[in-house]
């Protein structure tokens, strides 16, 4: 059985205009890994959310920075690392309020993080504000014959 680990990287300017390019990149990775169309879509959305957070919050919508998306795929999973050098955030501070409470407060924050947690199998953070922030997400390939 071949079990070669492959890595890919994409560097783009920190503008939301580039989210479609990021989705295309990640979608291609998911297809290579053998994910179903549904799981490819989930991977694209999770990475879109993570990169949009970096662009809008870590970099304050300043498009002169760079977002790095690293992908590593092997026979069982795809691991995506989103790397930035922006202001970072404390994941524990992301409010865990429900949707109804957010609406009544006219707030929408934290939705992206909630989606990422739902769409991916593993999510880890390494935050060093102003130096290097890394969000690692893993999605495992579902075995076609397993129930």
Q: Which residues bind to other proteins, rule: CB under 8 A? A: 16-17, 19-21, 23-24, 38, 41, 45, 48-49, 52, 55-56, 98-100, 102-104, 106, 108, 111-112, 114-115, 118-119
Smallest gap from residue 4 Cβ to other proteins (A): 29
Smallest gap from residue 57 Cβ to other proteins (A): 11
Nearer to other proteins, 41 or 123 (CB): 41
CA 109, chain centre distance (Å)? 16
Nearer to other proteins, 72 or 97 (CB): 97
Nearer to other proteins, 40 or 83 (CB): 40
Smallest gap from residue 89 Cβ to other proteins (A): 15
Nearer to other proteins, 106 or 144 (CB): 106
Smallest gap from residue 123 Cβ to other proteins (A): 14
Q: Which residue bears the tokens 């870590």? A: 58
Distance CA 116, CA 49 (A): 7
Smallest gap from residue 118 Cβ to other proteins (A): 5
DSSP string computed for 62-91: -TTSEEEEEEEE-SSEEEEEEEE-S----G
- Helix/strand/coil for 131: coil
How big is the CA angle at 139 (ends 93 and 134), to the nearest 5 degrees?
Answer: 45
Nearer to other proteins, 7 or 108 (CB): 108
What Å distances lie between residue 83 and 28, 67, 68, CA to CA?
19, 6, 5
Distance CA 99, CA 11 (A): 34
């Amino acid at each position: 059985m071949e079990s070669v680990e492959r890595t890919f990287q994409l560097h783009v300017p920190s503008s939301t205009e580039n989210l479609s390019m990021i989705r295309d990149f990640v979608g291609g990775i998911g297809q290579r890994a053998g994910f179903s169309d549904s799981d490819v879509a989930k991977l694209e959305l999770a990475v879109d959310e993570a990169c949009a957070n970096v662009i809008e919050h870590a970099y304050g919508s300043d498009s002169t920075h760079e977002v790095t998306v690293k992908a590593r795929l092997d026979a069982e999973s795809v691991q995506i690392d989103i790397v930035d050098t922006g202001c970072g955030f404390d994941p524990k501070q992301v409010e865990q309020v429900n949707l109804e409470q957010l609406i009544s407060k006219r707030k929408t924050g934290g939705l992206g993080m909630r989606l990422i947690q739902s769409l991916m199998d593993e999510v880890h953070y390494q935050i060093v504000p102003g130096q290097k922030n890394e969000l690692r997400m893993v999605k495992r390939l579902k075995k076609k014959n397993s129930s």
